[in-house]
């Protein structure tokens, strides 16, 4: 009887450990621990870099996580805050010099209107760009290192290797010419961009002639 009880306890302990590992595998994937939705102004306060960012409008990497078609959005609804290697002296990631870091933010409408204020932005995508001497070998190495952190690759498509996390988060790796991109994103970014585009276009979610007072 004692042997049976001991066996059952060992089995329960093993099952609980498996459950713990499963929960850990379902954690959010973040870029440098920065919560999705963080504003550009907040990022600048908490993650100061040596040089100011270079701002530009939305780009394909900002709203396309991997392969396939991309959304049709105006450049005015987002900020692509790019930090180049000049502002990242000595910064290495996974053993590689970082050539560039991009942070992509959507403007968050205020009372239905688009406000061009760094405080009124939300982070939805970020990436590292590497340009190593041997890109192919570096890709294999980075796939191995990302798999150690996030588990086996969940999806391989159009030259992208993708890992999924909880809450619609993900990270992908792809080689473009001699440059390697490791991109972090979350599915809510699409909604942020759609909301910003609607505000820019002057489209309200609620018809103007519909009385919803008191609901």
Model pLDDT, residue 6:
34
Average pLDDT over residues 84-93: 74
Grade residue 13 by pLDDT with cuts at 50, 70 and 90: very low
Structure tokens at 22: 């499963």
Rounded to whole angstroms, how far apart are CA atoms 116 and 54?
16
| Higher per-residue confidence, 13 vs 162 | 162
**Residue 10 pLDDT exceeds 60:** no
**What residues contact residue 59 under an 8 Å CB cut-off, 6+ apart?**
80, 104
**What residues contact residue 196 under an 8 Å CB cut-off, 6+ apart?**
73, 77, 78, 106, 107, 108, 109, 114
- CA distances 143 to 152, 171, 177, Å, are 9, 11, 17
User: Structure pTM?
Assistant: 0.79
Model pLDDT, residue 24:
42
Model pLDDT, residue 145:
97
Rounded to whole angstroms, how far apart are CA atoms 190 and 8?
48
β-bridge mates for residue 97, sequence order = 92
Grade residue 66 by pLDDT with cuts at 50, 70 and 90: low
**What residues contact residue 47 under an 8 Å CB cut-off, 6+ apart?**
32, 34
**Residue 128 pLDDT exceeds 90:** yes
Structure tokens at 89: 């002296």
- Check residue 160 and give left, alpha or beta (phi > 0: left; psi -120 to 50: alpha): beta
| Higher per-residue confidence, 165 vs 158 | 165
Average pLDDT over residues 194-208: 77
| Mean pLDDT across the chain | 80
**What residues contact residue 195 under an 8 Å CB cut-off, 6+ apart?**
106, 108, 109
Domain ranges of the chain: 31-201
Beta-carbon neighbour count of residue 42 at 10 Å?
16
- Exposure string for 126-153, b = 16+ CB within 10 A, e = fewer: bbbbbbbeebeebbeebeebbeeebeeb
Grade residue 127 by pLDDT with cuts at 50, 70 and 90: very high
Model pLDDT, residue 210:
57
Question: For tokens 């790019």, what's the residue?
Answer: 82
């Amino acid at each position: 009887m004692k042997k049976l009880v001991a066996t059952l306890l060992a089995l329960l302990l093993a099952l609980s450990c498996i459950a713990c590992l499963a929960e850990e595998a379902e954690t959010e994937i973040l870029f440098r621990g920065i919560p999705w939705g963080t504003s550009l102004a907040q990022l600048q306060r908490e993650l100061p870099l040596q040089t100011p960012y270079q701002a530009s409008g939305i780009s394909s990497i900002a709203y396309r996580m991997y392969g396939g078609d991309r959304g049709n959005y105006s450049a005015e609804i987002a900020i692509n805050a790019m930090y180049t290697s000049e502002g990242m002296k000595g910064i290495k990631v996974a053993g590689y010099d970082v050539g560039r870091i991009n942070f992509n933010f959507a403007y968050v409408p205020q009372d239905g209107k688009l406000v061009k204020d760094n405080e009124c932005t939300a982070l939805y995508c970020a990436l590292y760009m590497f340009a190593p001497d041997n890109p192919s070998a570096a890709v294999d190495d980075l796939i191995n290192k990302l798999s150690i952190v996030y588990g086996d690759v969940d999806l391989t498509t159009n030259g992208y290797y993708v890992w999924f996390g909880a809450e619609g988060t993900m990270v992908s790796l792809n080689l473009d010419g001699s440059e390697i991109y490791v991109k972090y994103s979350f599915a809510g970014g699409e909604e942020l961009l759609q909301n910003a585009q609607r505000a820019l276009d002057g489209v309200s979610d609620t018809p103007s002639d519909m009385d919803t007072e008191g609901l």
